[in-house]
Amino acid sequence: MNLKALLFDVDGTLADTEETHRQAFNAAFLEFGLPYAWSADEYEVLLRVSGGKERLAHFFARLPVNDHERARLAANVANLHRVKTERYAELVAGGGSPLRPGIARLLDEALAAGLKVGIASTTTSANVAALLDAELGKGAHRRFAVMACGDAVPAKKPAPDIYRLALSTLGLGPWQAVAFEDSANGLESAKAAGLFTVVTPTRWTESQDFGEADLRLSSLGDPSRPLAGEDAERAGGPFLTLAALAARQARARAAA
């Protein structure tokens, strides 16, 4: 098998964490005495901006406030994001963001087959470790051969930098790995890095354009939560197996 690694986005892909992030942002606003609270609909639009600090800066830059207040808010982005990250970790530790169907199964299958698994995400490494350790057990993040996260690269998704960093760290070419994403920005990033990409949208991203995806599914599926209909046809069964994934990627590479 030429497939050597699986690279995962985190927010929305490993777990539907976006609601947890939204709550954490709002908690940070409250702690700083700011009169803002992002609704679910508002946050869905803000998710088009990759990165938490970038999302805050984007939001503040468009507020109807005077220049002095805008500058004060912009100067507080790093502190706000630090508190938001702390609140997110607390929420995740309480079991607020369970892994999506098929994630734990496919991770175990890949590791058992000798493949490397890695992270390629715009979120912070602290957020990633908090989620993985809460859902897979303490120290679970150490099972990942690469954790390409947050500000490790100058340009965030949709730029391909984070995936190129992950591949370089692993010493692999793009034809030796598969990316898993849930957003249009993530898909663009992975495809620009040359990766076969599986997309599993969430309610936050399902309206986005995934025309370039190599495989789109509602989830990866599990024996207890099987895929059905067109999803099952595309996956080659009631859940996406490592063998089916490797075969599909090999066919795509041969046809390229």
Q: Give catalytic residue positions.
A: 9, 11
Q: Which of 252, 247, 237, 251 is nearest to 105 (CA)?
A: 237
Report yes or no: 194 and 252 within 8 Å, Cβ to Cβ: no
User: Please, what's the largest Cα pairwise distance for the chain?
Assistant: 59
Q: Cα separation of 82 and 52, whole Å?
A: 10
Q: Cα separation of 40 and 116, whole Å?
A: 35
Sheet with 5-8, side-by-side order of all strands: 146-148, 116-120, 5-8, 177-181, 196-199, 215-216
